[in-house]
Chains A and B, each alone.
Chain A
Amino acid sequence: MSERINSAWSPSSREIERRRARKSISRRQATIAAVSSTLVLGTLLVVLLTSPGWEVVKKTFFDVGYGREVFPTVIAGLWINLQLTFIGGFCIGVIALGLALLRTTKSPALTPFRFLATAYVDIFRGAPLILIILLVGFGVPALRLHGISSNVIFLGTVAVVLTYSAYVAEVIRSGILSIHPSQRAAARSLGLTSGQTMRYVVLPQAIRRVVPPLLNDFVSLLKDTGLVSILGVTDAVRAAQINASRTFNYTPYVVAAILFLLITIPMTRYTDRAIRQRTNAQSAEGAI
């Protein structure tokens, strides 16, 4: 729609002046940023390196040789965390969607389930994850039920899925509620049933809207799978713990932390970008 930029155009002298001024402002700001960064980070580094215990800390936390030695066991443990995250993530998605739909439905036949879904979300969102892991991990085997596995990895996953389903259900539900009622009115006036309206009109828009917070929860999920180590699952945290308690050198913890960060930092960056794009899209909608 905009006109073609005239190729014969050359900036006016006023514009050249303005560009020069802008360049000098940004140069000054870059200098200030560099000086302040050097000061702050340099001070931190000096405090760290000159602290009386630094030599001991270096040996017990940052022993590169020992770190290399334990690396295979920690990364094998991390593989458990990743499996738990993806399998659990899938189950969480399915259960959370069901809960969110139950909580937003108006069907009278589903009234008891709506009530149960609300109670479920209240309980599992309100109780600390670590307690749920302990209760499921030690409580369920004590019931001696037939057919229920007492495998700690399985029980740990169940506990994480129970808690995260409640969180994710609320995120999806907020997405559903954020779709303007006029969309529903348009769909219903075309003769779509309330189920079809949810399936084809409301849910696709709602899910798209909540992708950034869901990604955020996915990052937390990966970190929180480390908590199942309290049941004795040999995940990355537990593997590090075993090594550390054997030698009283804590480098394995640092190795585990770095490995987690290597996965979560790119994921968080990606999430931030998704959120920014979502926000930009919304502000564009607002301008129309």
Chain B
Amino acid sequence: MTNVLEISNIRKSFDNELVLNNLSLSVPEHTATVLIGASGSGKSTLLRCINLLESIDDGQIFLDGDEISDPLINVDDVRRKLGMVFQSFNLFPHKTVLENITLAPMKVQGKNKDEASTAALALLKRFDLADKADQYPDRLSGGQQQRVAIIRSVALNPRLLLLDEITSALDPVLVNEVLSIVRDLKSDGMTMVLATHEMGFATQVADEVCFLESGNILERGTAAQVLHDPQNPKTQEFLKRVHQAGRL
């Protein structure tokens, strides 16, 4: 199995605050890596560093064997291969659902309008959103908006999909419709890295679960190992708190 993503010893700080500390991670093709950990443990920063939205202070990041942490690399080319979905959806409010999805395929991949629309409509149909194609995002529920945001990323056929706490801003009853898309994409063979607080979901999709604490991975392994038989006392304590909050 080839590694789509390879991170070695990266370090990142914001104004004297160390957010990622000597962190390494490999993500093989067609697998899902789930990042868990308390807020502020560095999950989001890690995802933003992979997407080059933040620059790292040390270490290296490789995508398909190419070093993307090289300052001379074309950032736009790298981002073309990466999909990113945010906690706050970040749909473009002045564009319809269909236009949100077709913008990047048309402007970035140079597809013509018909081609891009046909592909986008097929995706919308697959995820039961075909009737929303011509609506503006503010007419949609949070769950629908997040599903559109996922489709928008997937429409570019990314090598790697990054999902940053995509259900944290959602009503509990809407969480499942979003997670079911991610499950479908996983069974399609999409490679992904996701930060989440949904432990049940993590158990279902994760090939590897990483527990982050103060910018480093303290424990990693299969979902069964990390979530149900944690060895590190900090992992145990974190999971106990999650359990008390009723999320496991």
Contact = CB atoms under 8 A, between A and B. Distances in A.
Given A183-B90, A186-B92, A193 B103 contact: no
Interface in A47-98: none
Contacts, number: 60
B138 A285 contact: yes
A200 interface: yes
Given A182-B90, A204-B94, A205-B93, A189 B108 contact: no
A191 B79 contact: yes
A284 B156 CA distance: 32
Q: For chain B, what secondary structure do more than half of its interface residues adopt (helix, strand, loop), or is it mixed?
A: mixed
B164 to A, nearest CB: 10
B73 interface: no
Interface in A173-219: 182-183, 185-193, 196, 200-201, 204-205, 208
Interface in B166-211: none
B84 interface: yes
B82 interface: yes
Contacts of A189: 51, 53, 79, 82-84, 153
B93 A200 contact: no
A205 to B, nearest CB: 5
Q: Pick the most buried of B82, B86, B92: most chain A CB atoms within 10 A of its CB.
A: B92
Interface residues of A, number: 20
Q: For chain A, what secondary structure do more than half of its interface residues adopt (helix, strand, loop), or is it mixed?
A: helix
B53 A188 contact: yes
A25 interface: no
A182 B92 CA distance: 10
Contacts of B17: none
B116 to A, nearest CB: 13
B25 interface: no
Nearest to A196: B107
B12 interface: no
B80 interface: yes
Contacts of A188: 53, 76, 79
A201 B95 CA distance: 9
A262 interface: no
A46 interface: no
Given A185-B90, A205-B93, A285-B93, 13 more contacts: A183-B90, A183-B92, A188-B53, A189-B82, A189-B84, A189-B153, A190-B108, A191-B77, A191-B79, A193-B76, A196-B107, A204-B94, A208-B94
Interface of B: 51, 53, 76-77, 79-80, 82-84, 86, 88, 90-94, 103-104, 107-108, 138, 149, 152-153, 156
28 contacts: A182-B86, A182-B90, A183-B90, A183-B92, A185-B53, A185-B90, A186-B86, A186-B92, A187-B92, A188-B53, A189-B83, A189-B153, A190-B103, A190-B108, A190-B156, A191-B79, A191-B104, A191-B156, A192-B76, A192-B103, A192-B108, A196-B107, A196-B108, A205-B92, A205-B93, A205-B94, A284-B138, A288-B138
